[in-house]
Amino acid sequence: MASKTESAVSYSGARLADYTEDISGERGPVDLPFTLLSLLLLTIGVVMVLSASFARAYYDPTNSTGGNATYYFVRQALFALCGVGVMFACSRFPMSFYRQISGIVMLVSLALLALVLVPGIGEKVNGARRWINLKFTTFQPSEITKIAVIMWFAVLICKNKDGLRDFKHGLLPFIILLGIICGLLVLEPHMSAIIIILAIGLVMLFLGGLPLYWFIGGGLAAGTLLGVGYAIFPYVRDRFAAWLNPFADASDTGWQIVQSLYAIGSGGMLGLGLGNSRQKYLYLPEEHNDFIFSVYCEELGFIGAMLLLALFALLIIRGFWLSMHVRDRYSALVGAGITTHLAMQVILNVAVCTNSIPCTGISLPLFSYGGTALLLQMAELGIILSLSRDIPEKR
């Protein structure tokens, strides 16, 4: 093994080969419940993309599908197939590999976050520059940033033996990093990504042992900031007003939420039946995307919604369970971080669809249409599968 090197953060093709060879023999099998739950949810998600999107694809109000009713479905299905491959591929890399590439991932994500701000590279949609167009697909660098924060924070926490009690050497690097990331995201701007990344960061610090008074203080600070923002920015006030009473301006600011509530509410106990949503006929915006859950509720009713939430809850609980049972601290942190990310997306998405929180653009993992986002989610699940293989079998 000529190219072996001592550097912890570099790797070569040869070492990659070593890892695969090495792991296949020594590690246990992937966790079966987590695998099955993931695949089941992915399958339901792809079917729902077909159901939710065909009306928009057919009417094609934005001239992007050519009137092909299965346009979105076919693309999502292909990405899902690739995603399954990605998930299993990721499950084969050992956790030490992820630990080694964490820094690179963080650097690359920061670079992409900066690149997306460059006109010509970043694509401007509705006044926000969030997308990089790769010709065959588009992706949001912020999606990568989320994984990068999980992975790199885990590395930093592992290095920091005294549990983040020292502010200068403990907490400050995290705050600086989060500050840089948030600054770049503000320039896009991308509010929902900031929320999720900040939340992920906080959860990582929480797991890493940051004393609880920081959270109490931070919570108070955040509340104050929110209050100040509410007082200063009319935009924030409007958001809140639209949240508290979406029907007051149902044809404009409340439109999305009202249509979503109509969809969910008209589902009733058993729903209108798979494929029978009526709200998806151009009433509900983003019906195959951020509001795919609303279509699901309309078609499959309260029973269906409970089943779906149960599946997600089981997946999340299993994710945390695996993180608690892995012997390696880095793996535990990454596993819990990824699971928290997954949980947060699901909870916030459903909360937005049901108007439980003010409206913001958060996609539903494994369901919402979007190729690269799906691939990244599958990769995250793959990482959890990878750590699951390190858990010693019970005797």
**Contact between 333 and other proteins (CB under 8 A)?**
yes
Question: 292-325 vs 32-59: helix axis angle to the nearest 10?
Answer: 160
88 is a site residue for other proteins (CB under 8 A): no
Q: How many residues bind to other proteins according to rule CB under 8 A? A: 70
Q: How far is CA 17 from CA 92, 94, 380, in A?
A: 11, 12, 21
> Nearest distance from residue 48's CB to other proteins, in Å?
16
**Under rule CB under 8 A, residue 41 binds other proteins:** no
Only one of the segments 105-113, 218-226, 301-309, 369-377 lies at the binding site for other proteins (rule: CB under 8 A); that segment is 301-309
- Select the residue interacting with other proteins from 292, 326, 362, 373 (CB under 8 A): 326
* CA quadruple 306, 311, 312, 318: dihedral, nearest 10: 140
Question: Taking CB under 8 A as the rule, does residue 374 contact other proteins?
Answer: no
The interface mask with other proteins, positions 220-259, x = CB under 8 A, is -------------------------------x--------
Tell me if residue 138 falls in helix, strand or coil.
strand
Pair 388, 92: CB distance under 8 Å: no
Q: Does 302 bind other proteins (CB under 8 A)?
A: yes
- CA distances to 95, 203, 321, 340 from 384, rounded to whole Å, are 9, 17, 11, 12
Rounded Cα–Cα distance for residues 197 and 294 (Å): 25
Q: Is 316 in the site for other proteins (CB under 8 A)?
A: yes
Q: Is residue 94 a contact point for other proteins (CB under 8 A)?
A: yes
Taking the complex as a whole, the smallest distance from the CB of residue 320 to other proteins amounts, in Å, to 4
Interaction of residue 202 with other proteins, rule CB under 8 A = no
Q: Does 324 bind other proteins (CB under 8 A)?
A: yes
Instruction: Count CB-CB contacts under 10 A for residue 214.
Output: 15
Residue type, 246: P
Closest CA to 305 of 372, 350, 338: 350
18 binds other proteins per the rule CB under 8 A: yes
With a CB cutoff of 8 Å and minimum separation 6, the contacts of 240 are 230, 358
Retrieve residue 182's tokens. Answer: 């948030």
Residues in touch with other proteins (CB under 8 A) = 1, 4, 8, 18, 22, 26, 54-55, 58-59, 61, 94, 96, 99-100, 158, 203, 206-209, 251, 261-269, 275-276, 278-279, 281-283, 297, 301-302, 305-306, 309-310, 312-313, 316-317, 320-321, 323-324, 326-330, 332-333, 336, 339-340, 343-344, 347, 350-351, 354, 356
